[in-house]
């Protein structure tokens, strides 16, 4: 599943093409792409056509495109919300380009500087979605997410915590949350209501870098260890961003269809049996919920509550 770096690469790629653009037309080829939209495909098409897009914003793994109000007298504001699911792609294409394989929705836009462009939502496994949702104020009055300046967020994204690259992310609040958690630190890193954007790949990589066993109870970590972990999470995410994200197959691409290459920099994830880059002992893999954890049993000693 795409994690923060992959989604941020898509957001940044969309921003110059969609910010200030007007939606000329919308075509829904598969209503399964609108599972989070409260209305029908016809409603989605009608509500979006003619609207102007203000920005391209992200929090965690969610993207949204805030819209100019349809009626200046109506205080309600809305956005197109996107979640890539397991295999979703948002691609920029020239007007009239041939349909993409697994294309579900197409937005035809007119930009005042760049001209016409098509935004294509393609999704092989159909777990991703688009929706029009109401924007609500952020509780902390800070901008809703990366790429946005307004203190608002789609209602269906409001429960998602800020991510560690967000300037408004609170390290102190995160440390306080861990003190109350008996569950494994990896499970907490994957809890999007505590810290967003970190999935299985980057959790394994960050824990390896911080020398923390994934099954360590969260509240067993010292303040120093939590600070070290947050530093490594940010370092791993920044490095992945610089390398375009992690692509293991053709499903994980940027808006131009190009794959990221952070997979070549992985130290733990997917390296079962290979030598740990730090100590040379083999990386082990153990089941974790419906996935796996990859770590070095020597470098990442498990701590218990004492």
Q: Which of 155, 239, 291, 303 is catalytic?
A: 291
d(CA 228, CA 208): 11
Active site residue 186: no
181 annotated ligand-binding residue? yes
Active site residue 277: no
Q: Which of 2, 5, 164, 217 is catalytic?
A: 2
Contact 208, 189 (CB under 8 A): no
Active site residue 291: yes
Backbone angles phi, psi at 268, to 5 degrees: -130, -50
Q: Which of 51, 52, 58, 61 is catalytic?
A: 61
239 annotated ligand-binding residue? no
Alpha-carbon dihedral angle through residues 244, 249, 254, 259, given to the nearest 10 degrees: 50
- Strand residues in the chain grouped as ranges (E): 22-28, 57-59, 62-66, 78-83, 88-93, 103-111, 115-123, 129-137, 152-154, 284-288, 291-295
114 annotated ligand-binding residue? no
d(CA 22, CA 51): 6
Q: Which of 3, 8, 215, 232 is catalytic?
A: 3
- Tell me the CB-side half-sphere exposure of residue 277, using CA atoms within 13 A: 11
Active site residue 282: no
Residues annotated in a binding site: 102, 125, 181
Q: Which residue numbers are catalytic?
A: 2-3, 61, 291
Residues annotated in a binding site for DNA: 102, 125, 181
């Amino acid at each position: 599943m795409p994690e923060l770096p992959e989604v941020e690469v898509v957001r940044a790629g969309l921003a110059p093409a969609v910010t200030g653009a007007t939606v000329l037309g919308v075509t829904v080829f598969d209503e399964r792409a609108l599972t989070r939209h409260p209305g029908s495909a016809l409603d989605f098409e009608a509500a979006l056509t003619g609207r102007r897009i203000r920005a391209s914003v992200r929090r965690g793994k969610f993207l949204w495109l805030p819209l100019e109000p349809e009626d200046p007298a109506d205080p309600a504001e809305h956005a197109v919300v996107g979640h890539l699911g397991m295999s979703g792609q948002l691609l920029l294409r020239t007007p009239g380009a041939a349909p993409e394989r697994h294309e579900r929705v197409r937005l035809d836009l007119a930009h005042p500087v760049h001209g016409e462009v098509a935004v294509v939502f393609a999704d092989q496994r159909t777990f991703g979605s688009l929706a029009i949702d109401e924007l609500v104020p952020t509780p902390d009055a800070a901008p809703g997410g990366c790429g946005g300046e307004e203190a608002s967020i789609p209602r269906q994204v409001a429960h998602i915590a800020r991510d560690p690259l967000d300037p408004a992310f609170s390290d102190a609040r995160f440390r306080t949350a861990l003190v109350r958690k008996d569950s494994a630190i990896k499970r907490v890193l994957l809890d999007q209501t505590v810290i967003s954007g970190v999935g299985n790949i980057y959790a394994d990589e960050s824990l390896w870098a911080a020398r923390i066993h994934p099954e360590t109870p969260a509240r067993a970590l010292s303040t120093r260890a939590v600070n070290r972990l947050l530093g490594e999470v940010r370092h791993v995410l920044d490095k992945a961003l610089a390398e375009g994200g992690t692509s293991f197959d053709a499903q994980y691409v940027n808006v131009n269809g190009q794959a990221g290459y952070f997979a070549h920099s992985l130290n733990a994830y997917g390296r079962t049996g290979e030598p740990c880059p730090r100590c040379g002992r083999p990386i082990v893999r153990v089941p974790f919920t419906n996935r796996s954890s990859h770590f070095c049993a020597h470098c990442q000693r498990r701590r218990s509550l004492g």
